[in-house]
Structures are given as C-alpha cells and as structure tokens.
Chains A and B, each alone.
Chain A
Amino acid sequence: MPELVKVKINGQEFEAAKGTLLIEAARQNGIEIPAFCYYEGFSLQAACRMCLVEVEGTPKLQVGCTLPVDVNRDGSPMVVHTESETVKKARKGTLEMLLTNHPLDCPVCDKGGECELQDMVFRYGAGESRYTERKVHTPEKQWSPVVFFDAPRCILCYRCVRACNEGMGVGALGIGNRGVIAEIIPNKHDHLECDECGACIDICPVGALTSGSYRYQTRPWEMNHVGTICTHCGDGCRTTLGVRDGEIMRGNNRDRSGINGEFLCVKGRYAFDFVNHPDRLQSPMLRTGETFEPISWAQAFDTIAKKLAEVKARGGKFGIIGSNHTTNEENFFLQKFARQGLGTNNIDHHRTGDLSTLFDALSGKSNALATVEDLYNAKAVLVVGADLSQQHPLLANQIRANFRHHAAHIYAVTAGPVREDDQATASVRVQKGGELAGVESLRDKLKGDGDLIIVFGDAVQGDALRKLVAFGDSLGIPVKYIGLVDYSNSRGAFDMGLIPRDGGLSREQMLAASDLDALWVIGANPLKSATLASSQAFVVVNEMFMTETARRADLILPAASAYEKNGTVTNVTGEVQKLKQAIKVMGTKTDLEILGSIAKEMGLNLGIWLPDKMLEEIRKTVHGYDVPLPILSTGGAVATQPLNGRVAALPGAIASAGDTLFTSGTLSRYSKTLNSVMEAPGALYAGKDH
C-alpha cells in the first residue's frame, strides 16, 4: 500500500497516495485542473502551462501535472489553490497567447462543439484578444488518406506525438522547426507511413488533426452516438459510432467505455464504411440461369423453406457453414436450426484457431484463460507465432502499455520481426514448426517471472498446442493463455456450437462431398479458396456482397452487418459484449430474422427469434455464458469460461485467414478507407527492420 498523505485543495482536505501527481489527486476528488498536454498513461510534458496552480509557501505558480503530492517539510499538508484569482489570471493569459496564432475558424472546424480549447476559453474568458498583429499561417496538409493536419489550429500539446510513439509504438510523428513556427511533422517528409490508426486525430484537443473520412461532414451535436463492438478482428474493441440521419459518420471511443479504452485501429475507426458500399446487396436474389433476379422476401422464404423441407424429407445431405461475424444469438439459433430443425450435425465455420485442443488441454485447470485486461497486468507475456500489431492491434497495444507502465517482460517467438521486439526481453526467430523449440529456449528466463500469459497463433495447434500447455505447466508459475482467432465472433461461433461435433462433416468435408444436397452459407465465403464438389446442391447464401460463394448460390439473402443489429459477440479472449444497432440498411434483414422466418415458414418450433430471448436461452444452455445482464447491457464485457472438461477432437482444418492490419476478409474489399490506405504512397509501416 502506498503511504497516504493529506493534501488540502481549494479549502477541502483530501488523502492521496504520496507521490500522486497533483492533477490526478485533484481529479480523484472531483476537482478538475485543466490541461492540454497532460494525458494519463503518457509521458509528462509540462508544456501547455494550463495546469498551473498556487501552492502555499511557494512563490511561483506550480505545474500541477508534474507536482507530486507530499507533505511540507514541517509535516503539514500541502495547501493548493486551483482556481484562485492568480491562477485564473495566469490561465487566461496563457489562453490569450494560445489564440494569438490560432485561426479561430471554429464555425467551420470539425472540433467545434467538442474542442478543449473552446471549452477553456469559455471557462476562463479569454474571448477578447489584445492581439492585433498578423497571425502565422501555413496551408493545411494531407498526410495520408485518413490524416489531415492544419498547423495553425495546433496548440502543440504533443498528445499526438506520444499517442503514436508511446501508445502505438509507431513513432510516425515528431516536431519540426522551433519557436512560433514549430509544428508537428510526419515521418516521411510530406506524408505518413504508419498504422493509419487515427489515434492522433482522436487525441487532438483541437481541430489540428482531422480525419479524411469525417472532416467537414457534420457537427458533433448533430450525431447520435452508438456504442457497439467493431466487427473486424477478434479483439472486441468497443467503437462509438457517430450516426446522423441513418448514416455512420465516424467511429471512435473517446468515452473509453470498452475493454479497449480509447484504443482503436484503422478498422475500428474507419472501416465501417462497407455498410453503404454501392455493391451492397439489398434484395433477395434468385438464380435464373447464369444471372440473378430480385425477388421478394416472402418468395425467398417460401422457396428456401420448401427446398429444405424437401431435402430433409428424403433424408438428403445438408451442409451448414456459419460465420465468424454473426452474433452469438444468430449462431446459437443457426445450430439449433441445423441440429433440431434439419436433423444434421454437418455444421461448421472457418475455424482460425485450435480452440478445441486448447480447451481440452486446459481441462482441469481453472482461470487459465487471460482477458484483455490481464494482458495489461501480467508480469510477463510470451507471443508465439503471431504478429499481433498486424492481426490483433488491441492485444499488441495492451502489451505495449503493460511494458510502458509496469515494465512487464515481453518475449516473442515468431517467424519474422514483430513490433514487440522493441520492448522484448528476448526475441527468438523460428521457422514455422519450430515454435516449441523457440519457446523452450526461453525456459530459464520465463521461470523467473512472477506470472505469464502465452499468446499463440494458429501455428500452434494439435499436439504442438498440448506441448505448449505442458511447457506452461512445467514453469512452476501461474500461466494463462490466449489462443488467437481471427474475427469479431470467431470465439462465439465455436462456443455456440458451429462445429462438426458428434460425427458431423467439417467445412472441407461438406465442400468435398459430391452428394451434398443443400448448402447454406451464412456470412462466410468458403468458395473463395475452394470449390464445391456437389453440382446438384441447392445453395443458399446470406451475404452483404456478391462474393465468390454468393455467385454459386441459387438464392442470395441480403444480410445486415454487425452495425445494423443487436446481439452479443465473444472476443478472442472469451469476453462477451453487446452489439447495438446503429443504422438500418434498406432491404436487408439480420441473419436471426432470416433464420427465424424460414424456421417459421417450415413450421419448426425453435423459439422466439429476438436477440434478447435467444440470449436468455444461451445463458441457460451454453456453458460459461450465464453472464450478468446488467454488466452486458451497460456496455461492459464479461469473461466466459469454457467447459472445464475434455473436449473431443474435431475434424477439419484450422488456419488463420492471415489478414493484415489493413484487411478484413470480404469486408475490407468493400471498405473505401481500407483500400485507400493500402493504395497510399510509400510502404506501409511494418516494423523497424523493414
């Protein structure tokens, strides 16, 4: 326990841990000391001079963001005034100076209405300026498809520099020139080569850094803000979508509401834009020869119900391939539909990590799965066979933050250089298949750590995975695991039973079965990299776009994306979170509604197809999913623990799709922003050695 000392702020006495920064001690007690450059979690700057406070016994005003709370030499408490006349006058003076070269173009600035400079000027009343000289002006610059910089608006708080360098581990921003013409500069002379995450834009207190997709589109107060979960990778970042007139204007997470705090990568911030791509399917389509004709939903349901009933009646062979993106409720309903409704176990999805072996290997252990928060608190983290900054940006961010704040020991056993190398106690380069030998070489170092989280990719599966867990057991320290899976609900698809257990056919086996009678693909694109052996199979595809698989369909149903539905998803670390519908795209239906409608049409009694009803059933039925609803519905994340027992081996292949930071399966093909970023000049940032 840190020593508590008394501190008197604005006449009230508080207790604070000795050494706490005064600005934090004040905040903890509901007193705001204003600051531009101070940002919790990042290094101290003491540059903006807004947090100046009066400390009795000290002649000069003191900087609140760097002043540690302590008792005075005589043992009496520090006496601080944060809003005295002297302090207010100083802040007003500083603001007046800040505005001397500020363009004051608030009426057209993106930040207007949510600008920290505006707020401060309102508060301290520096609205009228004595500055009558010519302002320094430089033209606005575009640094990347998503990052614009307007230097005159910049107040040089260096938040962006730190967010990029310390936060993202990229370090693409710096400072050029000095004095009044000092400005933020990008790493490649006139443009950025970086993660394009946009953290610099969000963290900017003013409108100096603006987003290529959002700028000059709307005012902040015209939007509704919908907190939901990003549909791309498996990390489960909460993204707060700004919605105006049924259109998503931006994504950010400034309210730090999720497991990711403010963190988002390029996908979470920008890649919602596939929802209104012109190629979006907005009507059911029936194959007529080589082309498709739009039909009504009623007609589509009728056709599908009849066909499925017919195949079921004659004991035909079904194949059901579910999705890594659809909700738990949809997936649960889908497996009920398959097992109870159609009487088949031929149900699978694209499995991107060997969860069945992991759970089996961990059988008998409790609390062996790490959460996103655990990654931030662990004493040591071992990354095996994965490039987290490319595929799991949030997990990579947690590890960086852990190193920065707690000096955690980081280890990387990977095929190529990874960003974790920058902080790593040891990095080992291995050929694919050599991961275990690489891990073994770190044994002595790892044994000395207090606890450990092992994060591993699809390279470690089957026997290798069992050996990895055995290795963890042999270290003699608490070890937790994260088995990486690709997409927003990969883990949920597994947990909900989109797996070929009890003798069902795997995805590969379905596609290879020449006697398959009906194939239903819900939000997946298996035919991108495989062919369907059966020529007679009736193929139904729920999709947003005309994918390779949709092209083979007999009937295509236009599906809603994750941003257009309610429900829950389970992230890579097994944490369940709630999706909230942000928009509605005309002509589409959620997969749950589609499944429910067809079940009804077939006369199947599979329960009420409302997300909440289905979640109730999941909580009762699925092991580990009896999650507290109040946490879920208030936007929290609940960690689920899988069945603590043996898990049978499953047939079929396991392989990550190998997406990069800028790809996301089918979705990224229809994201204008992701495509523009990939086409941007210069090589994309991949790491220091590239």
Chain B
Amino acid sequence: MAKKLYNEPSPLETLVVSKRFRLENSESLDTYLANDGYKAFLKAREMTPEQIIEEVKTSALRGRGGAGFPTGLKWSFVPRSSPKPKYIVVNADESEPGTCKDRLLIEYDPHQLIEGILIAALAMDSHKGYIYIRGEYRYLIEHMNRALDEAYKRGYLGKNVAGTGFEFDLYTHSGAGAYECGEETALLDSLEGKRGIPRMKPPFPAVAGAWACPTLLNNVETFSAVPAIIRDGGAAFAALGTPKNGGTRLLCISGHVNKPGVYEVPLGYPMMKFIDEIAGGIPGGKKLKAVIPGGSSCPVLRADECDLAMDYDTIAKAGSMLGSGGMVVMDETTDMVKVALRIMRFYAHESCGWCIPCREGTTWLRKILQRFDDGGGRTGDVGLLGDISKNMLGRTFCALGDAAAMPTISIVEKFAADFEKRLAKQESGLVGINA
C-alpha cells in the first residue's frame, strides 16, 4: 500500500527536495542513506569552504523563506575566520498564511535538512546549530527531535559526523506563537530567550547574529536544497530553473482549486498551468478572480495579471512577490472586502507592537475593514484604507508593516469595485448598519 501523503502528487512535478516524500519510512535515516543520503556531505568534506560556497552560488539558489536573497551570497557574508563561534540557525517558524511546505520537509525528510545544515556548517566552520520551529508546530518539534536522536545515535551528529572527525551539535528550539519571530533578527532574540522583536540592522546576523556571533540563518527549504546542489553540482540545480532563479521549489496552493496541496516545480513554471493542470483548476468551472502568489504579505494579482512565469524576478516585475510559496487562488465569487479583512485581522494580531506605524496602523485598518464588512462602510473608507497603508509602507521598523500594507493597497486599488458594491447594497438597505 502506498504511503498516504497530504495531497496526491502530480506527474507534472520536478522532484528534487521532495523526491523521498513518497518512500515508506521516508523520515528514517536508513531510508535516507539508501537514497543518496550523506553522499553530499562526504563530498563536501573533501571540498574547501570556498568551493562549497561557490557551488551554492552557481546553483542560483535563492532564499525560500520569502525575501529570495541569493543563498550563496548570504553564505559568503559570514566571516568564517572570526575567532567567535559561528552558528547555523534554521528558520522553521513557518507562519506566513498560505505556506505549509517546511512542515513537510521536516515531517517527511528531516535527514535531508540535517545534511544541508551540516554542509553549511562545513562551509562556515560552525559547530553548533539551532532549528527554530514555530510553537504551533509542536508535533514537528517532536518529529525533528526524533530525527536528531537518530542522527546522534548513528553518528551523523555529535563529535564525529559520519566518521569524518567533523563535530556538530544541533538542537531544536520552540517558538512561542509569534509570526514576528519568523523575521530573522526577531527569531534570534527569541532564540536567545528575549522578547521576539526585530533588531536594528546593521549589523546583519551574518556578522553579529545569535549571541552577537556570526550566524548563518536560512529557511528549512533552503537548507534542504543544499544536499542536491552539492551532490549533483550547482550547475545542474541552476539548470532546472531560469537564470538567477535556480532549481525547484515547493509551492503550496490553497483556495479555490480542485487539488490543493504542496507541489514541487522548477522556478519559472507558468502560473496558470500550475493552477489549471497541477492543482486541477477551479471547482465548478468558475472564473479566476485573484491570486496571492506567495503568502498573504504579497500584493494580490488580478486574474488578468496571472499569465506569468513563477520566478522571483518575473513576479516582482508584475508588482508582487513569490515570497514563501504560499499561493492562494480566489474565484469570481470571492468578496475582496472579506479577503482584506481576513488578512488584516492576521497582521493586527501579529504586529509585535514595537513601532508606531505597524502597531497602530494594522489595528486601524482592521477596524475599518471590520466596520465595512459589518455593513458600516462609508464612501471615504477606500481612500482612507489606501492612505493609512501608504503611511505604513516603508516606514516601519521591519517588513511586517509592509507585509500588512502591500496586500491592502493592492486590494483597494485593484478591487475597489467590491467595496463599491458593498456600499451600494448598504444604501439599498440590503445590509443592516452595525457600526
């Protein structure tokens, strides 16, 4: 009997980081070893740190957490010769609404993640790492801990990794339920036992991260892609995608599609083909209205803007972001007022409160949207929503304020008709006023 996955795989996928997902006991070290496991680490052990970093640069791997920063470049920023200890920190605080890929990587193939971390450790001359897992992923922390135990017992972590004499200790650390802690410096504060608020940059974590020591911080999927890059070469990985957008990535598709789930496709895969063929199209033959391409903080795309290739640069050109790969599909029946409200409820709840525009702005937006949705909308509200969002955009301490402002601006600008329809209904007495 085949293993039950969260969603049925699609034959159109290109499997790299998820290639072991379907195997029985895919989470066990034995399965991992029987399927290319630790080949990359042993190869990397023979390479110089410069060669490892060069290979990652060649792969054109970009951060899978959301910002899409070139991974090899980030690795090269860490001062490897610093006399301080160097830390590897894994961002498994997967909290962006619509995103659910890191959990699969930890659940189905934790040893691939460990190997990726170990290769990074070789390149950074680091001997200690932390996997920061969001608090709500309680079961995954246990899952990861079991994998760590197994790796320690079998000699793939600890004093003598894979018999090479390399020493590395790896720990899990639980978040406490704050979206903000997915921001790398807030994550580091939280890891250090402080209140999770973002830090001032510079210095960047590469120079002064965990406990003010050089720290390499990457997303789970980013680390998980590293073994394949080292094993098969950076060029092979890069060739899967488009220029400057190397390899494949896990896309999480949800909303109005027949087959929601997590699928691995090469960078640059056509969005409409992804929705229609891999995700099975929109149920009931309804028309597409809008797509959030990469998690709730990305500006929303209108249906007519969706005929594009899914790589970082093309989507950026279209005014949105590939983000964390959390794609939300909305059909023609979707009320964008409710979408804006739902998004803003999230950000108002998750704003850490550190800086004024985000703390006050998100809640103000939420209250206006709530009033509007409750039937208390006013003519000036659409303009006000846009204005408040623009007063936040680019003026907050960290990107959370932008993350709240950008989708709101895109919704009020592109879907003002939805708001007007509500106002018209209100005037005709179809909705009671409940301000």
A interface, CB within 8 angstroms of B: 44, 46-49, 52, 60-61, 66, 90, 93-94, 96-98, 100-101, 130-131, 133-134, 136, 155-156, 174-175, 177-182
Contact = CB atoms under 8 A, between A and B. Distances in A.
B348 A180 contact: yes
A47 B356 contact: yes
Nearest to B363: A180
A357 B368 CA distance: 74
Given A94-B357, A156-B359, A179 B350 contact: yes
Given A46-B200, A131-B364, A178 B395 contact: no
13 contacts: A52-B395, A93-B395, A96-B391, A100-B360, A101-B363, A156-B354, A156-B359, A177-B353, A178-B178, A179-B351, A179-B352, A179-B363, A180-B359
Contacts of A60: 394-395
The prevalent SS among residues of A at the interface is loop
B362 interface: yes
Contacts of A46: 200, 355, 397
B391 A133 contact: no
A155 B357 CA distance: 11
Contacts of A90: 391, 395
Contacts of A133: 364, 367-368, 371
A378 B354 CA distance: 36
Contacts, number: 90
Contacts of A100: 360, 363-364
B361 A97 contact: yes
A178 B352 contact: yes
B384 interface: yes
Contact of A156 (B353, B361, B388): B353
B355 A48 contact: yes
A618 B364 CA distance: 66
A178 B356 contact: no
B363 to A, nearest CB: 4
B356 A155 contact: yes
A177 B180 CA distance: 13
Interface string B197-234: 00010000000000000000000000000000000000
Contacts of B174: none
A423 B422 CA distance: 62
Given A46-B355, A97-B356, A180-B351, 5 more contacts: A44-B200, A46-B200, A61-B394, A94-B391, A178-B178
Interface string B33-67: 00000000000000000000000000000000000
A247 to B, nearest CB: 38
B138 to A, nearest CB: 21
B195 interface: yes
Which of A52, A97, A100 counts the most chain B CB atoms within 10 A? A97
A175 B348 CA distance: 18
Contact of A180 (B180, B360, B384): B360
A97 B360 contact: yes
A400 to B, nearest CB: 21
A97 B353 CA distance: 13
A67 to B, nearest CB: 11
A93 B178 CA distance: 27
A48 B350 contact: no
Contacts of B367: 133-134
Contacts of B396: 49
B364 A97 contact: yes
Nearest to A43: B200
B349 interface: yes
Which of A44, A98, A133 counts the most chain B CB atoms within 10 A? A133
Given A61-B395, A90-B395, A130-B384, A175 B195 contact: yes
A520 B67 CA distance: 81
A94 B178 CA distance: 24
Given A46-B397, A49-B396, A133-B371, A179 B357 contact: no
A61 B391 CA distance: 11
